[in-house]
Structure 1
């Protein structure tokens, strides 16, 4: 079968005196039957080209399944009179949200087989909601503070537009309330009578906050806030104390917050501090145990040049008077501060690793002195877990590393001890002692040391013969921290080395690390990644002809850029939902997300310098008539973050211009940015990608050159999520293109 050939239709782009012909512009119109026919032809071609890997795909899928405890249960979290948890059942695609009446402070014992707990109440069954639909996604799941009502929203297309419903949890009745076209995020009044929610503008930007009285028609809902500035997204929520409703506004570089007493939902939201360009801040509420006049706001901010942020306090009635509590440090990026009755929890990162510290309340005031929670492994990720109770002496946290499955602990504040509650089950005889993890440092073009997290099975020789996969992201200050993956075992058990390149543009080394990889410093992201790839080769972890790169979304931009920059450094490249037509997208302010993205990439409409800079690295703009590695690009027709036509245009131009390996495009016709929604479906998609990686890295068409080191191997990047992994969210989770 010959590869599809996209027709070319002349289309001129003219900016700053520069005229560019974009012959594949027509692919952006998904209402055009020729576009759908072309995508389907690409799918058929990819299916044929990968037919020889069918056996390996099925084997990997069975490994994923075989490593995963399909009937599983999360660790219950106490909220009021209930323990809340989620569970999965073997053979079912989606999770089931449940609760159990609380009879004490100790979480109920988990059945060894992960089955239902006696006496449980099912709040929401994703399998029932998804029945009859090819795609299903849950947007919000929000139980009212009194535990009597549930607000939830569903998306059946993958376009992240949700229908919001309300359920009476005392009777099990689904109420008449139904609100279409909502966005993520809801917040309840303290008595559960009123629900606040978000809607989007024509660019699909959350910009309005609505107030809905339960039991009344949606047409009567009141808009309580509207943000006209297209650079700002709007959010809504509750403080941890549940005393205040919070409206948050954020651009890429500026914040603004509004508060309202949650007992007065019909009142007026009050400004905390007016926005100031370049100043970011967030707030939480610390409630004094006996005297509300001594309540405080915790304000995490970067005002006055505090690049890595400072934690301050402020009186409720003088919210702009910030008194430093935890001062700014050049070596420590403060990430988040959460208020509890008797302590604060501060999340931070230092030396490329995440951390948690407990700050007690002393003499009625939060203390600046904190106690870090220590861990033994050289590289790991830790973060606060689900902690819905304000008055508690324990901290629920999640922990993982490249070799330690996602783990849930309770940390006792008084004794400073960790209690293991659950470690993600990995079936088939997994033993962490069979693997090694390392922190490696590459040297970038400008001399900057770039960290790399590396994992492999023990016994893999560092002689350059091992196949390898290197992953990268590097945008939005999002950090791809070390994490465990069941699916990855299918690579490791076949002798692969797996590496994460912590390149600039991410947040791994603090705010400066991010700022050195954005705007007119964006090229550092790409050259850092190439330096990391070459470091793995120089240090004999692998060789260039056995190395595959992978990245998604903005990490897909990275993949396209390094394909142009250093194609000889890789045998293959996987680009998931890749942002590869970056300049054309950022030039179009009518597209969702574009205006808010100007503070990340620059505004090429207004600035000739930004235009020229982006044109110099945008992957689609820079495909050359030279040899490229094999490329597998995946996308989804209903993706609203990175449109399907970006990889479609890119692959068409590669095939018409470049030489070298196969250029393949796979489009999900019923999905969004995160791909297929059911867990078994997503495992099959991951098996397809991993089979391609194995076949490409080994030069074997069927990928059967490597045998597994164990009889059974792996699970997917997302399997085991019920173990409450810490904040190592999927690379597709960033807001923006």
Structure 2
């Protein structure tokens, strides 16, 4: 084992990894017995487990010691391209313009506001980074709140309707348990109200006296909505909603019109919404559509002009008998009343080529969000002065083949839109969009220091063909002068080093996006590619359905097909190809490591869900029951068990894995979504089988990794340096 682990690539000769003792534990389900040698690593409070993880970490760092100069170079490049003292574009709410700013040398943003000039002041000021903002009031300095903590995250942030109080919730360990506090903005002092162990997403009712917040059950699932009255003890708080079904997550919010408080709950396949007039925060919530198994819907309150005058309307996006969803309008159910899908009026019908994803309403316009041909899109409808409404939506596009466009509605009264635009080569850009004329005014583009020129880079869409003949989209971006093409050629003149990213779960789509950190790879000649595999949502709901439950293998074989297409078409070669995925994408790259180890020279797996079968067999673990709709229930269904057993990365590591690609798994000790034990066990088994594998673990972080921008850049630099080393580019 030592020889295999010290001879690959250019990694320093740090000897063999720490030996992970084998302590066999039998796991028997549905007649199948699996001997798990490393389940003992689950004992998080065991000093021996902690010592072993720290030893693995130390070995990894020692083995990567030779890359310290490259890591520093990449960190310096990210830092050097980033305007460290900067501000967001302000957004108006009530009598104030709200924004966040960052200061050079500080890890976290500062949340602030300045007063609006009057009721017609709807154009944000041009704020100059580093210059004082006239009338600025600092609401929350995250740096001050984080002082003395290794980790810091903000889970809730809300200002009362009258602008006098701030609600905020913080997590200082990474376990996504937040302490909620309320601050008097006139004095800067916190009130006596303090609530621990809350979930993200707390908010004020419009009266400013009541707070709604969430707590989690033993499986760390948000399941209760509470109401708290300021100035009263937490013991007096009232549970206003409780969801006993462990498949459902619960959330609470306020409609953009601020007329309704909303409780939304959903499993992976079913949802339900409840409403309460916000001027009666102690009243009873009522259901919009009673849940129907397999029917998902979301609700947006709108006021639509009709022949009889303005009418309160619910715009409901749903998938009953509409695979890609349709948009309907429905009257608001009266107290004690309900409406059904059959009573609603279809306003945007189902289209098998268009996946409807959301709708936003304001006083003057509506915005529809949807996806067509693997690209996210937005369309706007200006509401007429009088009804009826004709649903003639105008698509907002910047004319690029690979782009992401998102229209932000803002507050209810706002007369115009903010439109965000980016691509793989275009920095994040924010435009003010005049709904009536369609005119766009650039408010701000993400600054990229050092003379960035988007013309130096190119992006393209390719298509691979999967095992079953399905065409799978691939997005690519590269630096023009680093990847040479023969005249008229569709692929590089010689295979290029390539990082292939994939996710493929939960109908989550990987849309084109710009990354400052990615430039450090592109400028060294690396092509970055995204495999839009089934299980994601890029090509509509059927794309998702064809990559979940009993069709999950399509996610993995699609990724392999993308890799083989890129090799076969000359974009790259197997010894120049690294796979990259995180969380559910970590399961993806873990599975393809077993399926096609010869296709890749490296695998980067972030917080990887690689011991999925063990987790799905234990309903006491966080999220397990809610995840059965995504992966299946192997505890009660022998066919699901056998299917998952056939692909989960941990159980399927080859007995002799010396031929595997180099593997780096990263994780966090306090992760509550994918427990640290999954990658720890996986790496232990890979190492025991002779695979060149290593583990990097953050001992004070959660699922999102380290907190603070500089710490995050250090983590990115570590991963990028490893990728460049694997690709033979460590000297660039």
CA RMSD between the two structures: 1.4
The equivalent of 1:603 in structure 2 is 633
What secondary structure is seen at the aligned counterpart in 1 of 2:642?
helix
Relative to 1, partners in 2 of residues 1:430 and 1:293: Cα closer, same or farther, differing over 3 Å? closer
Whether the 8 Å contact between 2:259 and 2:277 is mirrored in structure 1 is yes
CA-to-aligned-CA distance 1:4-52 (integer Å, 9 cap, x gap): 1110112111100111111100000111111001101101100111000
CA displacement 1:491-522 (0-9 Å, x = unmatched): 01001111011110000111110000000000
The answer to whether residue 625 in structure 2 is matched with residue 617 in structure 1 is no
Query: Which structure 2 residues correspond to residues 13-412 of structure 1 after superposition, within 5 A?
Result: 13-103=27-117, 105-288=121-304, 294-303=311-320, 305-317=321-333, 319-320=339-340, 321-362=343-384, 363-385=386-408, 387-412=409-434
Q: Which secondary structure does the structure 1 equivalent of 2:49 belong to? A: helix
> Aligned partners of 1:285, 1:658: CA distance in 2, in Å?
58
Partner of 2:704: 674
Q: Which runs of 5+ in 2 are unaligned?
A: 1-14, 485-491
Q: Structure 1 residue 384: deviation in Å? A: 2.8
Contact 1:359 1:366 in 2 (8 A): no
Q: Which residue of 2 aligns with 1:447?
A: 469
Residues paired across the two proteins, number: 698
For the residues of structure 2 that align with 1:675 and 1:17, how far apart are their CA atoms?
A: 38
Partner of 2:4: none
Residues 344-363 of structure 1, C-alpha deviation per residue, up to 9 Å, x if partnerless? 10000000101111123233
The superposition leaves residues 548-596 of structure 1 with CA deviations (integer Å, 9 ceiling, x where unpaired) of: 1110000000010000000111110100000000000000000000000
Whole-angstrom distance in 1 between the partners of 2:494 and 2:507: 32
Q: Is the 8 A contact 2:198 2:214 kept in 1?
A: yes
Contact persistence 1:360–1:367 (CA under 8 A): no
* TM-fit CA distance, 1:146: 2.7
Q: Would the aligned equivalents of 2:410 and 2:417 in 1 still touch at CA under 8 Å?
A: no
Paired with 1:213 and 1:172, the residues of 2 have a C-alpha distance of 20
Partner residue of 2:9? none
Shift of 1:186: 1.9
**Corresponding residue for residue 733 of structure 1:** none
Q: Which residue of 2 aligns with 1:641?
A: 673
1:503-582 matches, within 5 Å, as 503-582=533-612
Residue of 457, 482, 485 corresponding to 2:479: 457
3-state SS, counterpart of residue 383 of structure 2: strand
Equivalent residue for 1:486, pick from 516, 524, 529: 516
TM superposition shift of 1:191: 1.6
Are 2:437 and 1:415 equivalent residues in the alignment?
A: yes
Deviation of residue 106 (structure 1)? 4.5
Q: Distance in 1 between matches of 2:107 and 2:664?
A: 26
Looking at structure 1, the residues matched to 586 and 309 of structure 2 have their Cα atoms a distance apart, in angstroms, of 50
Could you tell me which of 696, 701, 704 is aligned with 2:726? 696
Please say if residues 212 and 222 of structure 1, whose CA atoms lie closer than 8 Å, have aligned partners that are also in contact.
yes
Distance in 1, Cα, partners of 2:76 & 2:206: 47
3-state SS of 1:185 partner: coil
Q: Is the 8 A contact 2:305 2:388 kept in 1?
A: no
Q: Could you state the TM-score of these two structures normalised by the residue count of structure 1?
A: 0.93
Measured after TM superposition, the shift of residue 410 of structure 1 is 1.4
Q: CA deviation at 1:109?
A: 3.4
Higher relative contact order (CA closer than 8 Å, sequence separation 6+) = 1
2:375, 2:17 → 1: CA distance? 45
* DSSP-derived class of the 1:287 partner: strand
Structure 1 Cα separation of the partners of residues 70 and 125 of structure 2: 39
Contact 1:472–1:555 (8 Å) recurs in 2: yes
Stretches of structure 1 that go unaligned for 5 or more consecutive residues are 707-737
Measured after TM superposition, the shift of residue 292 of structure 1 is: 8.9
Cα deviation, residue 151, structure 1: 1.1
Q: Deviations over 1:674-699 (max 9, x none)?
A: 1100100110010000000000011x
Equivalent-residue separation in structure 2 for 1:574 and 1:523 (angstroms): 20
SS in 1 for 2:474: strand
TM-score, normalised on structure 2?
Answer: 0.94
Following superposition, the deviation at residue 220 of structure 1 comes to 0.7
Contact 1:251 1:596 in 2 (8 A): yes
Supply the distance in 1 between the matched residues of 2:573 and 2:366 (Cα, whole angstroms). 48
CA distance in 2, matches of 1:539, 1:221: 63
Q: Is the 8 A contact 1:400 1:406 kept in 2?
A: yes
Residue 199 of structure 2: SS of its match in structure 1?
strand
> How far did residue 80 of structure 1 move?
1.2
Report the Cα distance in structure 2 between the residues aligned to 1:90 and 1:665, rounded to whole angstroms. Answer: 32
